[in-house]
Amino acid sequence: MEVYYNNKLVNNNEFLKPSETQSKPQIKYSFENNKLYTLLMYDPDSIHGNRFHWIAINIVNDIKNGNDLLPYTGPAPPPKTGTHHYIFELYEQDRNIDMKLEERNIPMDFVKKMLNIAGEPISVMHFISKNQSGGKRKKRTKRRRTKGKRTKRYRRY
């Protein structure tokens, strides 16, 4: 399986900034005719437990022909939560799936049982990301004292 963000091929374990991953990626795979597939994209490092960023089901021949059970949402790791792994797993489906889902923070075992996924994925790919804030240093304001009296404030840079 190949994953492309903004027409750029993503290598396994590559670091991507959250800003580079906000648009839905292109997925390329040699899908076999007349077979159904499920694609899972999730973050196991989420502060709320496993978080799904995308679930596509009933994929036939091309990812565009599948149904988004959970529409794509780009990674947005919170500040000071370290590195997050974003994992894509592709599975073969044994039958057509007809269901709805809204919750994104779901244990992997529950999703696999719900989607009737057994066995190992036929393809896996992942990248890493982390919050890029850190930004500007705050300007601190101090008061200057002279002989016990307060005077003007000044900024310390």
- What pLDDT, in 10s, does the model give residues 124-155? 999 999 998 754 455 555 555 556 665 555 55
Mean pLDDT of the chain: 88
The upper half-sphere exposure of residue 103, i.e. CA atoms within 13 Å in the direction of its Cβ, equals: 10
Under a CB-based contact definition with an 8 Å cutoff, are residues 35 and 143 in contact?
no
Residue 72: per-residue pLDDT = 97
Alpha-carbon distances, residue 87 vs 1, 38, 116, 139 (angstroms): 12, 14, 19, 39
Residue closest to 18 by CA, chosen among 81, 105, 77, 88? 77
What superfamily does domain 2-156 belong to in CATH? PEBP-like (3.90.280.10)
Residue spans per domain, the chain: 2-156
pLDDT digits (tens, 9 = 90+) for 14-70: 999 999 999 999 999 999 988 999 999 999 999 888 999 999 999 999 999 999 999
Residues in the chain: 157
Residue with tokens 């066995």, as numbered in its chain: 119
Kindly tell me if the per-residue pLDDT of 93 is higher than 60: yes
Residue 133: per-residue pLDDT = 76
